[in-house]
Chains A and B, each alone.
Chain A
Amino acid sequence: MHHFRFSQRTVAAVLGVLAVAYTVQAYRIPEFAAVQVPVQPGTLPRGLGLLLIVLCLALFLQKPAPKTAEPSEPTERDRSVDKAGTAGTAETAGTAEATTAPARRPALGRLADARLELAVLLGAIALYVLLFEPLGFVPATALFVTGTAWYLGFGRHWVNALVGVGVAAALYLGMSEGLDVALPTGILPL
């Protein structure tokens, strides 16, 4: 997670720029003149924008707290161990071995760089959302669950495929038929 931790000044500066942009936008909210109102629609946004600018300034000037290690982040050592474990699970594990202890606590992912790993997951979610309506809920969900779980190192491929399709179908039936909440049907002639 340390890759995503920026210096307090950088954060404050970026937020400050956003705050200024927000405030400018707030001042462009038109006055409401038709009926007399004591508080204009723009009043509170303007105040909030200015407050945020002040807070960003304060954060910028504040002495950063002493740097602490992300407590739950695995150390480099842990990670290399994980990686080995992943490779093992993915390549060799048959269904039988997968039920053993190391497979029940699988290490996640395949790439050493956390940033890339996160990008892959985000990409997968984005693809899921993109395909959600055109492809339909059931195929898109089954693909997403199975694909992502496989990538992350879930070794029992048959179980994986069954869970992906099963959850997708069950959710679809439950929502569309049971709850009257229509999920996209997409390519399936449902």
Chain B
Amino acid sequence: MFRAGRRGSRAAVAAVAAGSVSLLLAACGEGAGAASGGGDWKPTKPIEYVAPANTGGGWDTLARSSARVLDKAGLVNRPMRVVNKPGAGGAIGWSYIAKHQKDPHKLFVTSPPILLVPLAGESGQTYRDFTPVARLNTEPLAYVVKADSPFKTFEDLAAKLKADPGKVSVAGGSGPGSLDHVGLAGAVQAAGADASKVKYVPFDGGGEALTSLLGGHTDVAVAGGSEVQALVRSGDVRALAVSSEKRSPILPDTPTLAESGIDYVFDIWRGVMAPKGLTEEQIAYYEKAFEKMVEHDSWKKESKKLGWTNSYLGSEEFGKFLDEQNKEYAGILTEVGLRK
């Protein structure tokens, strides 16, 4: 069940794709058939680029750095204006975007919560209410403990969670059923423990979660690889495992879950979506802009500093990818009992 990852499901892409073409057509406005030319439409006013999270978080950084590169490299002809719409794991930003259907001057940055939050029944919208524009990059989750923790490997942790789940508290930067929790639950479940019994403590962002770990208030923390990078390097915390398929360039010494004997892959992918009902020309305009952006030198430089791995997908492929991921997450949430 949990091995889905990207490996397992890649084989299914073709089938899924065939099945979801109609869905995608709905999602992408008029479909991808008649790409008569992306130059037909241009933004006529500043583009509101929504980060459905507070300033400083992953979404915010993504929005601000991509907006900067787009502006600086002249890939869009109107300025990108980053707006923060924080709250409820993203649902507030999405409902805001959903209120502006067909508005081609609004974009938002996105990542797994666009699938997870609706699956947990906590959003009025699902990913199908928006138009996928592009996937930009991926980053692993890291499972970290304080340097003096008795847990030396992820197996140690898994064993303890199997034997005595009530004794271990795990800090994460988002609410139950959201990104950090699912990334944890999936791994725990795959390791053979009962994820619904794990004490998952939600904090407002990875920073707060890591502070509580450093102070010994919680035993384990789940956070993005880039967030823990500095603390791992200084030796304050130990990363037990990363959730990506291969070792991450930002934490080269940390084993993957697979190396720890746990068959589970979870990537924090990041991308850009737009309101529903955009025309094909409008989608093409933005798709092209982002495709050029990921190849831009300054983007590559920033990505490296921020610990992101480029993994561009265009609008159509991103849509398929979302369908595939959605299925996988639905499975995990059902098992943990958070699916609504």
> Which A residues are closer than 8 A to B by beta carbons?
34-35, 180, 182
Question: Is B112 part of the binding interface, using a Cβ–Cβ cutoff of 8 Å?
Answer: no
B337–A34 CB distance below 8 A? yes
| 7 A-B pairs whose Cβ atoms sit less than 8 Å apart in the complex | A34-B120, A34-B196, A34-B336, A35-B176, A35-B338, A180-B46, A182-B81
B46 near A182 with CB under 8 A, answer: yes
CA–CA, A131 and B120, complex, Å:
39
Nearest-neighbor residue (CB-CB) of A32 within chain B: B176
B77-127 CB contacts (< 8 Å) to partner A: 79, 81, 120
Given contacts A34-B176, A35-B196, A35-B200, contact A180 B338 (CB under 8 A): no
Residues of B within 8 A of A35 (CB): 176, 196, 200, 336-338
Q: Is the interface of B mostly helix, strand, loop or mixed?
A: loop
| Residues from chain A with Cβ under 8 Å of B337 in the complex | 34-35
B62 to chain A, nearest CB (A): 18
Give the interface SS of chain A, mostly helix, strand, loop or mixed: loop
Shortest Cβ distance from residue A40 to the other chain B in the assembled complex, whole angstroms:
13
Hey, which chain B residues are within 8 Å of A180, CB to CB? 46, 79, 81
Bound: A34/B202 CA distance, A: 14
Indicate whether B271 reaches chain A with its CB closer than 8 angstroms. Answer: no
For B81, what are the chain A residues with a Cβ–Cβ distance below 8 Å?
180, 182
Whether A34 pairs with B46 at a CB distance below 8 angstroms is no
Interface string of B302-340 (1 = CB under 8 A from A): 000000000000000000000000000000000011101
Q: Tally B residues with Cβ within 8 Å of A.
A: 13
The distance from the CB of B1 to the nearest CB of chain A, in whole angstroms, is 19
- With both beta carbons as reference points, the residue of chain B lying nearest to A34 in the complex is identified as B338
Chain B positions near chain A (C-beta within 8 angstroms): 46, 48, 79, 81, 120, 176-177, 196, 200, 336-338, 340
Given contacts A34-B338, A182-B48, 18 further A-B contacts (CB under 8 A): A34-B120, A34-B176, A34-B177, A34-B196, A34-B336, A34-B337, A34-B340, A35-B176, A35-B196, A35-B200, A35-B336, A35-B337, A35-B338, A180-B46, A180-B79, A180-B81, A182-B46, A182-B81
Contacts of A34 in B (CB 8 A): 120, 176-177, 196, 336-338, 340
Query: How long is the Cα–Cα vector from A182 to B81 in the complex, in angstroms?
Result: 9
Shortest Cβ gap from B148 to chain A (Å): 27
Chain B nearest Cβ from A62, distance in angstroms: 39
**How distant is A177 from chain B, measured CB to nearest CB, in Å?**
11
A180 to B340, CA, bound (A): 40
How many angstroms from the CA of A184 to the CA of B46 in the assembled complex?
A: 13
- How far apart sit A6 and B177, CA to CA, in the bound complex (Å)? 49
Interface centre among A34, A35, A180, A182 (most CB of B within 10 A): A35
Among all A-B residue pairs, the 3 with the closest Cβ atoms: A34-B338, A35-B176, A34-B337
From residue A124, how far is it (CB to closest CB) to chain B in Å?
29
Instruction: Give bound CA distance, A35 to B338, whole Å.
Output: 7
State in angstroms the CA–CA spacing of A180 and B46 once bound together. 10
CA distance A182 to B48 in the complex (A): 10
Q: Could you say which residues of chain B place their CB within 8 Å of the CB of A182?
A: 46, 48, 81
With a cutoff of 8 Å between Cβ atoms, the chain A residues found around residue B336 in the complex are: 34-35
- CB B189 to nearest CB in A, in angstroms, measures 14
Taken together as a complex, chains A and B put the C-alpha atoms of A35 and B197 apart, in Å, by 8
Q: Which residue of B lies closest to A176 (CB)?
A: B46
Once bound together, how far apart are the Cα atoms of A35 and B194, in whole Å?
A: 12
Give Cα A35 to B172, complex, Å.
15
The docked-state distance in angstroms from the alpha carbon of A34 to that of B198 is 12
User: Which chain A residues lie closer than 8 Å to B48 at the CB level?
Assistant: 182
Best-buried of A34, A180, A182 by chain B (most CB within 10 Å): A34
Minimum Cβ distance to chain B for residue A115 (Å): 38
A37 CB → nearest B CB, Å: 8
A186 CA to B61 CA in the complex, in Å?
Answer: 32
A189 to chain B, nearest CB (A): 12
Whole-angstrom distance between the alpha carbons of A180 and B338 in the complex?
40
Among residues of B, the one whose C-beta sits closest to the C-beta of A185 is B45
